[in-house]
Amino acid sequence: MMDAVIGLEDGTFLKGTGFGAEGIVCGELVFTTQYTGYEESLTDPSYSGQILMFTYPLIGNYGVNDETFQSDGVKVEGLVVREACRSPSHHQSMRNIYKLMEDEGKPGISGVDTRMLTIGTREHGTMRAALINGSDDGEEAVRLARAQPDISSLDLISRVTCKEPYIIKSQVNTDDKKNVVLIDLGMKKNISTSLLNRGIDVTVVPATTPASVIQEFDPDLLFLSNGPGDPQNANAAIDAVKEMAGTVPIAGICLGHQIIARALGADTYKLKFGHRGANQPVKDLETGIVHITSQNHGFAVEGDSFDDTDVIVTQINTNDRTVEGIEQKDLDIFSVQYHPEAHAGPRDTEKIFFGKVMKAMGGRV
């Protein structure tokens, strides 16, 4: 066991027991309320630049199965838990969470009051933090937390986007094969999986790819993925949507939703502490149905700020009325803030959203 400490910019620090890799990491401290799906969350590129804390007190009890990863490895900067399970019980488990964090070179801290940290975050908003494994110097942790830049000033997308375009061919045989060009802003694996399972070939391109290059791939639909950071920093993707709007259908999830909204003239803003968890209620304004969704985002769309007056808000979060879905029917553009493809998590909206993607391309729903 090793000493560990986490310090926040407001001067708070908590000492605990370190696990995983020894060292120092900095980032925003954010919390998620889910109690399953920790493998998916730890490997979600949207968490780049953030130290992830689980509100559920025991994490790692069913171990780690690499098949559930949403990227090529752990993307969070560090992990904060009340208790980490050393002896998981599941027939598909390959290793425990201690070994995962060690193998990935990422630090974790356990034995801290995550409830107190969560309440503090809800009251004061998301704060910059520093996690030190191998020391219990709380004052140094606070100093490091205060010294780091605000997350909005960081180019986090460049850390997680692919470097070159690549194509994933669907193994599903269809009479009319479709091709989606997916802008990788920090894509979760399940987005491409949901497309591939429907017989769609996926061409993945870097976040800075201009519209002229995207058009060379002759897409049936342009898709913008999830990703980390402030959407106003994704200038290339915003420009691509502006240039291609009206030429092909366009869809997006999470950060992709925010980028589409900005391309249509809307403002985005940072939430006090964001939405992260697997039980966010989203109301469809057309049907009146409330879906339970998985979410992971710190920014939101200002619903009444669109330059394009034909944009409609299709879904809202019933907790705080934030925008969860938009649509511009004349341009065949639609997007959602939540994750319909999320696993483990509610699957209520996967068929609905990707059925809409298929319909937009003229394929089977």
Residue 364's pLDDT is what? 54
301, 256 in Cβ contact below 8 A? no
Residue 365 within a domain: no
For residue 121, give the CATH number of its domain.
Answer: 3.50.30.20
**Model confidence, pTM:** 0.96
Euclidean distance between CA atoms 200 and 280, whole angstroms: 29
215 and 130 in a single domain? The answer is no
Strand partners, 84: 59
329 and 185 in a single domain? The answer is yes
Residue where a domain stops, chosen among 148, 181, 216: 148
Domain that holds residue 306: 157-360
Residue 325's pLDDT is what? 98
325 is in an annotated binding site: no
Residue 239 within a domain: yes
Residue 130's pLDDT is what? 98
Residue where a domain stops, chosen among 126, 148, 170: 148
232 is in an annotated binding site: no
Cis peptide, bond prior to residue 147, ω within 30 of zero: no
Residue 315's pLDDT is what? 98
Which residue numbers are catalytic? 254, 339, 341
Residue 1's pLDDT is what? 80
19 is in an annotated binding site: no
Euclidean distance between CA atoms 252 and 256, whole angstroms: 4
233 is in an annotated binding site: no
Give the DSSP per-residue string, 191-232.
HHHHHHTTTEEEEEEETT--HHHHHHT--SEEEE---SS-GG
Walking along the chain (365 residues) 10 residues at a time, the average pLDDT comes out as 96 98 98 96 98 98 97 98 97 97 98 98 97 97 97 95 98 91 98 97 98 98 98 98 98 98 97 96 97 97 92 98 97 98 85 96 70
Across the beta sheet with 323-328, the strand order is 166-168, 200-206, 178-184, 221-224, 250-253, 333-336, 323-328, 312-317, 268-284, 290-301
298 is in an annotated binding site: yes
Residue 346's pLDDT is what? 83
